[in-house]
């Protein structure tokens, strides 16, 4: 099972997570987010040393902007968290691993979720913001998904969810994405809580 920690903004969090079992590190490039990542020399120096998968999160950004950030921050994975279509996914998938976020609620019709060129889907809770709302959707709805693209589960996952996560039995379940429930403030990770969570999850 893949694990992704998203919304990183601090060098010390980056340093800590580089030594854990986390598979993917997420960085948000949407200026509306309180976890928006700005260019910082110390952060970039630390980032250059890390061998884990680096995920850039974008919301309705043009392709040139995404590619520019990917080069600057050495991203190997692009997460599209807006209203992007499969045409953009297809272009980016030639050079990067692409994750397409899908907002989920009780009314979601998975037959309309059609992003065949994405490497992964990310099922996140539909809420006020594009992500980081800190609330869960009803995971039972995952049983309605019969697509071929594997998915990551996101949306309000917290330390208390270890048991429920390990009980998910879906052929396309690939991993989890955690963020706001493991913070002391937006963009500031509670690293001890993350470590305890990872230990229990494994």
Instruction: Give the alpha-carbon dihedral of 44, 45, 51, 57, to 10 degrees.
Output: -10
pTM of the complete model beyond 0.85 = yes
Q: How far is CA 52 from CA 16, 18, 47, 181, in A?
A: 12, 7, 10, 22
Cβ count within 10 A of residue 179: 27
Q: Which of 17-26, 46-55, 125-134 has the lowest mean pLDDT?
A: 125-134
Average pLDDT, integer, range 161-180: 96
Can you tell me the distance from the alpha carbon of 6 to that of 189, in angstroms, rounded to the nearest whole number? 10
**Polymer length in residues for the chain:** 202
Convert the pLDDT of each residue in 66-115 to its tens digit.
999 999 999 999 999 999 999 999 999 999 999 999 999 888 999 999 99
Q: Which of 47-51, 63-67, 171-175 has the lowest mean pLDDT?
A: 47-51
**Which residues, in sequence order, are CB contacts of 80 under 8 Å at separation 6+?**
58, 59, 88, 89, 92, 98, 99, 100, 101
CA 167 to chain centroid, in Å, comes to 21
The dotted CATH code for 2-201 is 3.20.20.70
pLDDT surpassing 80 at residue 127: no
Percent of the chain with pLDDT over 70: 96
């Amino acid at each position: 099972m893949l694990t992704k920690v998203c919304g990183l903004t601090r060098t010390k969090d980056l340093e800590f997570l580089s030594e854990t079992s986390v598979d993917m590190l997420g960085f948000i490039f949407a200026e509306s987010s309180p976890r928006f990542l700005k260019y910082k020399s110390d952060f970039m120096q630390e980032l250059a040393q890390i061998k884990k998968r680096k995920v850039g999160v974008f919301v309705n950004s043009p392709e040139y902007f995404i590619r520019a950030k990917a080069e600057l921050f050495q991203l190997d994975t692009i997460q599209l968290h807006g209203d992007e279509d499969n045409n953009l996914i297809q272009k980016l998938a030639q050079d990067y691993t692409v994750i397409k976020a899908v907002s989920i609620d009780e009314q979601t019709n998975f037959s309309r979720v059609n992003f065949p060129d994405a490497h992964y889907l990310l099922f996140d809770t539909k809420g006020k913001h594009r992500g980081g709302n800190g609330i869960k959707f009803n995971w039972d709805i995952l049983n309605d998904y019969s697509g071929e693209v594997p998915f990551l589960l996101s949306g309000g996952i917290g330390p208390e969810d270890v048991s429920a996560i390990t009980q998910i039995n879906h052929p396309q379940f690939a991993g989890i994405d955690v963020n706001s429930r493991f913070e002391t403030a937006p963009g500031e990770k509670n690293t001890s809580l993350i470590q305890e969570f990872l230990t229990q999850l494994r």
